[in-house]
């Protein structure tokens, strides 16, 4: 089927038909088609700053809010991350999934570079890029006194911006290099490369779990190669090993109403393989390029997320530990308590 001209039907596990929008009908929303421009141009238009040959940095709205004293990210209230000192980056834009909910332009494939930058260069260039992105706050009358100076020295790196970071071959060394600079490291992976997960030791490791069956995985995450579901399952076992090594572990579920927001017992069964410290159940957000594929109605309301999360908690033996309504996320833990990261 030509996806550019025909609506795609997706079968949920409940067998109802879900319509995913064809990419062509809303190109005017962006003023261009993502398939028709280069990845570098796309990045620039989306506010990314390049850091070296293939890494990218982008500030998020929570950094701005924290800088101006008008709010903080849920990572701050859940885990003690200082939002205006958080560096959001990726060492590669490559990815082996095309998740329907991804806010990145999955329509534009990123290629591996001819030569990979070394970790020290990425650390240096990413901090430099972040400093450049926040320059405007230096003279801003709205910025909280002292926050700009603090923000120049990031205290946390979120390796989760775009793309799948485990494709960067020197990822273990990159994690260590950030830690040597005094940063805590949050790393989010789609779980398709368990071999790499075995080698890394970030402060907090997230594995995404967005389906309970191979069929749901195909429909929601749209893997580009075979056997990736099996790899994700293996990563759940690796997550348990990482926890034993002292890494804080998280399973993140991105819940898309009508697609994967069901089968709570199935999620619980898989979660029990990993026994993560925390489970984040977060609604799909109708932002970025996901608007080419999904409707606003695919976003769940906060009470719906809370109810879905509570059912998973009940099946898995976890407890409600907190929530953030602006981010539409609920966090669960075994004890119902949360704890801050420390360097």
Q: Which is nearer to ligand SF4, 54 or 104 (CB)?
A: 104
Q: Which is nearer to ligand SF4, 64 or 293 (CB)?
A: 293
Shortest Cβ 326–ligand SF4 spacing (Å): 20
Stretch that binds ligand SF4, among 3-11, 45-53, 92-100, 125-133 (CB under 6 A): 92-100
User: Looking only at Cα atoms, what is the longest distance across the chain?
Assistant: 56
x/- string (CB under 6 A) for ligand SF4, residues 211-230? --------------------
Residue 235 lies near ligand SF4 (rule: CB under 6 A): no
Shortest Cβ 161–ligand SF4 spacing (Å): 9
User: Rule CB under 6 A: which of 140-199 touch ligand SF4?
Assistant: 162-164, 190
Closest by alpha carbon to 118, among 42, 76, 161, 171? 171
Q: Which is nearer to ligand SF4, 106 or 126 (CB)?
A: 106
Q: Distance between CA atoms of 244 and 94, rounded to whole angstroms?
A: 30
Q: Distance between CA atoms of 313 and 307, rounded to whole angstroms?
A: 10
Contact between 179 and 150 (Cβ < 8 Å): no
Cα torsion angle, 123, 128, 132, 137, sign: positive
Q: Which is nearer to ligand SF4, 82 or 236 (CB)?
A: 236
DSSP 76-140: HHHH---GGGEEEEES----SB--TT-SS-TTSPPPPPSSPPPHHHHHHHHHHHHHHHTGGGGG-
Shortest Cβ 188–ligand SF4 spacing (Å): 8
Q: What is the binding site for ligand SF4 (CB under 6 A)?
A: 95, 97-99, 102, 104, 106, 162-164, 190
């Amino acid at each position: 089927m030509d996806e550019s001209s025909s609506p795609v039907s997706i079968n949920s596990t409940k067998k109802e038909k879900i319509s995913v929008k064809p990419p062509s009908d809303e190109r005017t929303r962006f003023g261009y088609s993502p398939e028709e421009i280069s990845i570098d141009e796309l990045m620039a238009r989306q506010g990314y700053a390049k850091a070296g040959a293939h890494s990218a940095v982008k500030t998020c709205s929570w950094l701005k809010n924290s800088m101006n004293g008008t709010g903080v990210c849920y990572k701050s209230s859940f885990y003690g991350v200082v939002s205006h000192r958080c560096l959001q980056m990726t060492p590669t834009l490559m990815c082996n999934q095309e998740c329907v909910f991804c806010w990145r332009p999955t329509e534009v494939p990123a290629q591996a570079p001819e030569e990979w930058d070394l970790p020290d260069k990425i650390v240096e260039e990413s901090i430099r890029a972040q400093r450049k992105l926040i320059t405007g706050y230096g003279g801003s009358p709205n910025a909280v006194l002292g926050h700009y100076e603090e923000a120049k020295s990031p205290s946390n790196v979120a390796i989760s911006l775009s793309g799948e970071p485990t494709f960067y071959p020197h990822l273990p060394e990159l994690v260590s290099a950030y830690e040597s600079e005094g940063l805590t490291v949050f790393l989010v992976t789609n779980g398709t490369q368990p071999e790499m997960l075995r080698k890394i030791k970030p402060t907090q490791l997230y594995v995404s779990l967005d389906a309970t069956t191979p069929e749901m995985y195909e429909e929601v995450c749209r893997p580009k190669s075979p056997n990736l579901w099996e790899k994700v399952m293996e990563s759940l076992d690796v997550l348990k090993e990482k926890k034993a090594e002292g890494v804080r572990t998280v399973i993140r579920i991105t819940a898309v109403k009508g697609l994967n927001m069901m089968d709570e017992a199935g999620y619980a069964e898989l979660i029990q393989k990993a026994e993560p410290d925390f489970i984040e159940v977060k609604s799909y957000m109708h932002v970025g390029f996901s608007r080419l594929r999904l409707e606003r109605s695919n976003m769940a309301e906060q009470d719906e997320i809370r109810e879905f999360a509570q059912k998973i908690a009940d099946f898995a033996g976890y407890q409600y530990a907190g929530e953030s309504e602006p981010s539409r996320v609920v966090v669960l833990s075994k004890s119902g308590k949360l704890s801050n990261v420390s360097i």
